[in-house]
Structure formats: structure tokens, C-alpha cells
Amino acid sequence: MTLTPPEAKAAEAAQDLNPAAAAGEAPSALFPNYSRYPLALVKGHGSWLWDDKGNRYLDFMSGIAVTNLGHAPEKVKEKLKQQLDQLWHVSNLYQLPLQEQAAKLLTKHSVLDAAFFCNSGAEANEAAIKLARRYFQKIKGEERFEIITFHQSFHGRTLATLTATGQDKVKEGFLPLPAGFKTVPLHDEAALKAAIGPNTAAIMLEMVQAEGGIHAAKPEFVQMITELCKEHGLLLIIDEVQTGMGRTGKWFAHQHYGIQPDIITVAKGIASGFPAGAMLGKAYLREAFSAGSHGSTFGGTPLATSAIIATLEVMEEDQLPERAAKMGAYLKEKLEEKLSGLSFVKEIRGMGLLVGIECGGPVGELILAGQQNKLLFINAGPNVIRLLPNLYVSHEEIDQAVDTLYNVIRAYEEAQGKGEA
């Protein structure tokens, strides 16, 4: 059976539902840089989404780990409404008490001491790269600038962060790429040691490569990285953009490993869907980001920080990281129980409510079949189904999602078998 790539399938389906394009009328006013699925989602509440035709979907992707509290969480919504009546934007040239409050909550739940607010994960990683370079060049007086990253990592789509990303597909057509990055295979100790040189400033690591297939870093490899950083005087940057904010069963994924990074980056789930990100760093890095060294017009606005504060307060009150650990264990248990007899399923892995199902081939058709059966999930690379339910997901919702996945995969197996016969 010949499989059509998921991007092409989605584009074909979207074209079928676009009569204007089919009739040769004016195309969309948007750039076509997204391969959009043929769904127009217009309403959300908790674990559920509705399209413009009134169909209801069980959401197991959470806007790619963004709506960690579910859609339209009440306390965050109320906090934003209150802020809308008070102050939207004044600029970072003034004192912003909500930034201080949000920073204290973030540092309280991490081993870091200071925060810089921005608008996205890519911006948070860009800030981390700049902070590492500036720390060595302006504070230490050393011409260090190189960042070591790992194959299959994903750090963003700015020129610097896509260069840091260990996937060639995001770099196509954007040459020349900035200098100062080396990428080595994950868990390759010899390659990592060989990459360290006199210009190395930092090692940048995801504890779980979410976009790269749901691969968790091995504890012994992480320990070796920390020892190398100490030996060579390097900074350790942990990208927590997708793994932070309780997603893996702790506030931040690096806490599973008992390490103390110099810098971490967060975004996605930090503000329940309001655009926000942050870079957190150790106290001794403060002076590297002196006045005028870096900035963001919209980073840490009163609206953004009110959403961050409300999100963090809800996570504290309801102990959501702990809940994610329990519900993640339940999800993997049910998946193992239900999918174990399916030949197309090769492995189930993950951490907390970041779960991957590795399959025997591309999963694009399964994603479309899931949509047809009112379940939304995404991939992590061509052969891995990625599940990212919100941290309030119920046992009943997990049971329903697992049953739907089983039916979708079993139907695919049967259709594939008939096609090969």
C-alpha cells in the first residue's frame, strides 16, 4: 500500500474544501507555509474542541503542549479580563510589577534566579544563546561563542535557533546559516567530547526530544554532560519549551535528572495559550544582560504576565505536575494494554503526559483517520504518534482516546493487509 505524506494529504483535503481555489478564484491572503488540516476549529473548553460545523473533538495535542490547563481555563480567563480593564502595554522602559511577580513564581519552582520575558520558545532560545555568548565575551573576557546541540533536536525557527536545531529539513533554503553551532548525535560520548573546543560556550539539550520522536535523554549521558560542562567551564542550557510547565510530571523535565542547569527556556504552556516565553538563568549571569544588551517590545506585557501568573497559581493550587505524572502513567498503561496486539505499533515511550507511539511506518493517514473519528493528535517525526493531552485530562477521556486509537490503527492494519493481498 503506497502511503501519501501527511502534508500532501492535508493539503489535498484542504483544497477539496476550498471551492474558491478549485474555481480558480483569488487564493488565500495567507502565505502557504503551513500544511493545514481541513478543520476550522472555533471553540474550546477543557479537553474538547468544536469546528465551524458543530462537530466536537477530543483534543490530545493541546495546541502542541500549549493549553496545559485545557481550553479557556476559568481562572486564567478571569485574570485576563481584569487586566484588560486596567493596562495592556506601556513598554519595558518602566517598572512592571507583574513581571516581578511572574519571575518570582518561575524561579520558585526551578533552580534559577532571574527571568527574561519574551513571546515564544524560539525567542527564549535566542535569548539563551545570546546570554551564553555575552557572558563569556563581556564578563569572562573569553572569545567563546559556539553552542553544541544534538541531532533530532528542535530549538526554533529564527536563523540562530534553526541552525541550533538538529534537523536538516528546517534549514533548507535559508543558507548561509550563522556560524557558531555544532551538532552531534545524542548519547554519543566520543562525538560530544570531540566537539568541545576553545570556542565552546555552552551545551544545549532537550531532556526529551519531543519534535524528534519522543526520545528521552539517558540519565548517565546527562550526568556526563554536566561533568563536561564543569570540567571545561561551559554553560548548560536546557530547552524546556515543550517539556516544561508540568508536562512531564515535574515542573521542569530536568528535575527528573537531579541536575542544575545554568539556563533554561520555557514557553508553550507558560500562559495557557497567550503568547509568552521566558528564559531563566543563574544569578551570576545577571550582569551579562546589562541595560541595553537585549530586549523585546512585547515581552512580559501586563497582559502576558497576568496570564503567566494565573497559570502558575492554578498549577500550584491543583498540583498539576504531580497529576500529570499519575495520568501519564495511566495513559501509558492503557496504551500498552490496548495496543500490544497491533503489529504496526512498535514501542510506547514518553514522560508524564508527553507520550510517543512509534509505528512501523508513516502515521499521516492515522492522524487524518483520528480526525474523522473526532480525536486530535499529531506526529513527532514521520513514524511516531505524539499524544499531549492537557494536565486535567480525565480517566474517561484517556479511555476514550485509547479506544479510538486502537480502532484507527486496527482499521489501518486491515486496510494495509487487503492492499498487499
pLDDT digits (tens, 9 = 90+) for 277-326: 999 999 999 999 999 999 999 999 999 999 999 999 999 999 999 999 99
Q: Are 271 and 67 in contact (CB under 8 A)?
A: no
Are both 92 and 60 inside the same structural domain? no
What pLDDT, on the 0 to 100 scale, is given for residue 416? 85
**Residue 140, amino acid:** K
Q: Residue 354 belongs to a domain with what CATH number? A: 3.90.1150.10
pLDDT at position 4 over 50: no
Closest CA to 270 of 65, 29, 40, 26: 65
Task: Classify residue 342 as exposed, middle or buried by CB count within 10 Å of its CB (0-12, 13-18, 19+).
Answer: middle
What pLDDT, on the 0 to 100 scale, is given for residue 10? 47
Provide the Cα torsion 55, 56, 57, 63; round to 10°. Answer: 100
- What is the CA angle 187-254-331, rounded to 5? 90
Are both 155 and 235 inside the same structural domain? yes
Q: Taking residues 67-92, what's their average pLDDT?
A: 98
**Residue 248 included in any domain:** yes
pLDDT digits 0-9 by tens, 215-258: 999 999 999 999 999 999 999 999 999 999 999 999 999 999 99
Residue that is last in its domain, among 299, 317, 335: 317
Task: Classify residue 149 as exposed, middle or buried by CB count within 10 Å of its CB (0-12, 13-18, 19+).
Answer: buried
Model pTM?
0.93
**Residue 201, amino acid:** A
What pLDDT, on the 0 to 100 scale, is given for residue 51? 98
What pLDDT, on the 0 to 100 scale, is given for residue 420? 54
Per DSSP (E only), the strands in 6-55 are 41-45, 48-51
Are both 244 and 258 inside the same structural domain? yes
Share of the chain above pLDDT 70, in %: 93
Residue that is last in its domain, among 270, 295, 317: 317
Are both 123 and 266 inside the same structural domain? yes
3-state secondary structure at position 170: helix
Dihedrals phi, psi of 321, to nearest 5 degrees: -60, -45
Q: Taking residues 402-421, what's their average pLDDT?
A: 87
pLDDT digits 0-9 by tens, 318-368: 999 999 999 999 999 999 999 999 999 999 999 999 999 999 999 999 999
What pLDDT, on the 0 to 100 scale, is given for residue 339? 97
What pLDDT, on the 0 to 100 scale, is given for residue 26? 84
**Residue 1 included in any domain:** no
Are both 313 and 297 inside the same structural domain? yes
Strand partners, 237: 204, 263
Q: In what order do the strands lie in the sheet with 345-351?
A: 345-351, 354-359, 384-387, 378-379
Provide the Cα torsion 385, 387, 388, 393; round to 10°. Answer: 170
Q: Are 200 and 148 in contact (CB under 8 A)?
A: yes
What pLDDT, on the 0 to 100 scale, is given for residue 209? 98
Whole-angstrom distance, CA of residue 327 vs CA of residue 53: 31
Whole-angstrom distance, CA of residue 280 vs CA of residue 124: 9
Residue that is last in its domain, among 256, 285, 317: 317
Share of the chain above pLDDT 90, in %: 92
Which structural domain, as residue segments, surrounds residue 199?
Answer: 74-317
Closest CA to 359 of 370, 372, 348: 348
What pLDDT, on the 0 to 100 scale, is given for residue 17? 46
**What's the domain count of the chain?**
2
Per DSSP (E only), the strands in 197-286 are 200-205, 208-209, 215-216, 235-239, 263-266, 277-281
Are both 111 and 246 inside the same structural domain? yes
pLDDT at position 2 over 60: no
What pLDDT, on the 0 to 100 scale, is given for residue 15? 46
pLDDT at position 18 over 60: no
Are both 22 and 41 inside the same structural domain? yes
Dihedrals phi, psi of 24, to nearest 5 degrees: 80, 20
Alpha helices per DSSP H over 279-363: 302-317, 320-339
Are both 138 and 196 inside the same structural domain? yes
pLDDT at position 19 over 50: no
C-alpha cell at 191: 562525538
